Amino acid sequence: MVAQDIKRYNFALLPTQRADAYIDVAQRYFKHHAVGYLLGEHSLPHITVCQFHALESVLPALMGGIQGVHTSPRVQLADLRFSNKPNTNLWGASLLVKRSHELLILQQAVVNLLASHGLTPLNPVGDLYTPHMTLAKVDAVDLKDFPKSIFEPNQFALALGESDVLGQFTKVLQGFSS
């Protein structure tokens, strides 16, 4: 196995309606201070369930293995959060998602599926899982009149797609509905 054959993938929840609203908010409030990560043309709005590295050849088995799993849990966006990793000047601007029983069951099903193929999640799982939708990575923040409408209920459905090294969801490979 050659390292270049391995790609980064993501089982994530994608909005089924109003995806452009999340991109518009990210662009409007964060594009002037964004460093690397910004929702837009090359980064789709998503809530990561599990990111992982794999060979492309394992994807059909993963897609088949997700059948029968409830792939559209109720998602409630709860708050705007800024988080900072130690020794960096960058802040992650994210919409925090309330942890629900349905969401945790979905993540555990995906973790189990990955494990059955010898794959390991790259993101925290179980009790350490903090579901969120990253809008941007920024070096400064200037928020005036941030729209509360972004927290209105929306539908999300599981998809498998490609991710880049920043964790941006860049391409949908397969959508799932239940």
One-letter-per-residue 3-state SS of 41-109: CCEECCEEEEEEEEEHHHHHHHHHHCCCCCCCCCCCEEEEEEEECCCCCCEEEEEEECCCHHHHHHHHH
pLDDT digits 0-9 by tens, 51-60? 999 999 999 9
- pLDDT mean over 23-46: 91
In a domain, 147, yes or no: no
The answer to whether residue 170 sits within a structural domain is yes
What pTM was computed for the model? 0.88
Amino acid sitting at position 41 = E
pLDDT at 107: 96
The pLDDT of residue 3: 53
- Is residue 35, in this structure, part of any structural domain at all? yes
Q: How confident is the model at residue 1 (pLDDT cuts 50, 70, 90)?
A: very low
pLDDT the model gives residue 178: 67
**pLDDT on residue 46:** 96
Residue 82, domain CATH? 3.90.1140.10
Q: In this model, does residue 167 exceed pLDDT 90?
A: no
Does the residue 92 lie in any domain?
Answer: yes
**120-163, pLDDT tens digit by residue?**
999 999 999 999 999 999 988 777 778 888 888 888 999 999 99
Domain that holds residue 131: 3-142+152-175
46 domain-assigned: yes
Phi, psi of 101 (to 5 degrees): -60, -45
Token representation of residue 50: 């599990």
Number of domains in the chain: 1
Residue 97 lies in a domain: yes
pLDDT tens figures, 75-100: 999 999 998 877 788 889 999 999 99
- Angstrom distance (rounded) from CA 121 to CA 10: 9
